[in-house]
Amino acid sequence: MTGHAPVMVAEALRWLEPARGGVFVDCTLGLGGHSQALLDGGASRVVAIDRDAEAIAMARERLDGYGDRVDLVHANYCDLGAVLDARGLAVVDGVLADLGVSSMQLDAIERGFSFRGDAPLDMRMDRSQGPTVAERLLDVSENDLADVIYQYGEERHSRRIARALVRARDEAPIATTGELASLVRRSVPHRGYQRIDPATRTFQALRIWINGELAGLERFVRDAVTRLRTGARLVVIAFHSLEDRIVKHTLRGLDREAGVVQVLTQRPEIAGDEEVAGNPRARSAKLRAAERVAA
């Protein structure tokens, strides 16, 4: 299925150069497309991390033929240091992270990431940990909720939406994606043609919030750089401006302040027209790369 194709594979391989061999880390395994490309490209071993146990189970079938060249790990990429320490790896030969929600998670209606169907309002990437969105909505304050929707969704109607959600939940819990989407749509003014569904930004914001997607991103970038051997590279693919901004400023800071990395992409690379035509998810992808230049 085109929706499950990994994005910007050729660009990632060009920067990471797995043909040199060595140990590479795929910090966001998903269905295993990038890990498979690294292994086929010459990586001696890939440590593949994902916080979603269901994704790991599906990727395991795809990568079964690579034997002990691939090590599947159920963990958050923010815990990269602990994952590598547990395997006795002080440094590695490349690190890749493909951020955000995966197409597999979006397509699984029962996971609650999408409003394309009506399902329990969950949105957790790791369903073994933490509260669901429905549970968090039970007691979050109106001001805090508005801040979440504005900060993570860049939604200019955040105050209006938060007010509507709190009023609704005070009468009955908001339990499903259909209920949430309907409440958001009714609270946002409609003026003619709308390029995206009015609920899109709020769903994005709540997903980022419940999974803490931005909270550890700067730390991850810094930790990843410290784990690269000299000459090895970090590649990060982001899908919205908030992620990309954190990656950009963290890498530039490390380049300018500490001098331990050289930023290789002064502007982010984007997917080509042919890839976007075959895989629409690639349209918003932005790739940044950096190389470890000092110990």
DSSP assignment of 148-191: HHHHHH--TTHHHHHHHHHHHHHHS---BHHHHHHHHHHHS---
Q: DSSP state, 74?
A: E
- The two three-digit tokens of residue 258, written as one number: 């500490």
Say which amino acid occupies 15: W
CB neighbour list of residue 215: distance below 8 Å, 6 or more residues apart: 78
Q: Which of 132, 290, 291 is nearest to 207 (CA)?
A: 132
CB neighbour list of residue 289: distance below 8 Å, 6 or more residues apart: 15, 233, 234, 235, 236, 263, 264, 265, 269
**Shared domain check, 6 and 95:** yes
**Shared domain check, 158 and 224:** no
Q: What CATH number corresponds to the domain at position 126?
A: 1.10.150.170
Strands 261-263 and 45-50: unpaired
Q: What is the pLDDT along the chain (295 residues), one digit of tens a residue?
A: 334 689 999 999 999 999 999 999 999 999 999 999 999 999 999 999 999 999 999 999 999 999 999 999 999 999 999 999 999 999 999 999 999 777 777 777 888 888 888 999 999 999 888 899 999 999 999 999 999 999 999 999 999 999 999 999 999 999 999 999 999 999 988 776 677 889 999 999 999 999 999 989 999 999 999 999 999 999 999 998 999 999 999 999 988 777 889 999 999 999 999 999 998 888 999 999 999 997 6
Strand ranges, E, within 35-181? 45-50, 70-74, 92-98
| Residue ranges making up the domain that contains 183 | 114-211
- Which residues are paired to 95 by β-bridges? 25, 234
Q: What is the pLDDT of residue 295?
A: 66
Final residue of a structural domain among 171, 188, 211: 211
Q: What is the pLDDT of residue 273?
A: 93
Say which amino acid occupies 196: I
**Shared domain check, 96 and 6:** yes
CB neighbour list of residue 91: distance below 8 Å, 6 or more residues apart: 227, 228, 229, 232
Given a contact cutoff of 8 angstroms between Cβ atoms, the answer to whether 241 and 189 are in contact is no
CB neighbour list of residue 250: distance below 8 Å, 6 or more residues apart: 217, 218, 221, 222
**Shared domain check, 199 and 218:** no
**Shared domain check, 191 and 239:** no
Q: What is the pLDDT of residue 4?
A: 66
Final residue of a structural domain among 156, 184, 211: 211
Say which amino acid occupies 175: A
> What's the domain count of the chain?
2
Q: What is the pLDDT of residue 193?
A: 62
Q: What is the pLDDT of residue 1?
A: 37
Rounded to whole angstroms, how far apart are CA atoms 142 and 162? 6
Final residue of a structural domain among 182, 211, 240: 211
**Shared domain check, 206 and 218:** no
Given a contact cutoff of 8 angstroms between Cβ atoms, the answer to whether 243 and 269 are in contact is no
Rounded to whole angstroms, how far apart are CA atoms 218 and 69? 29
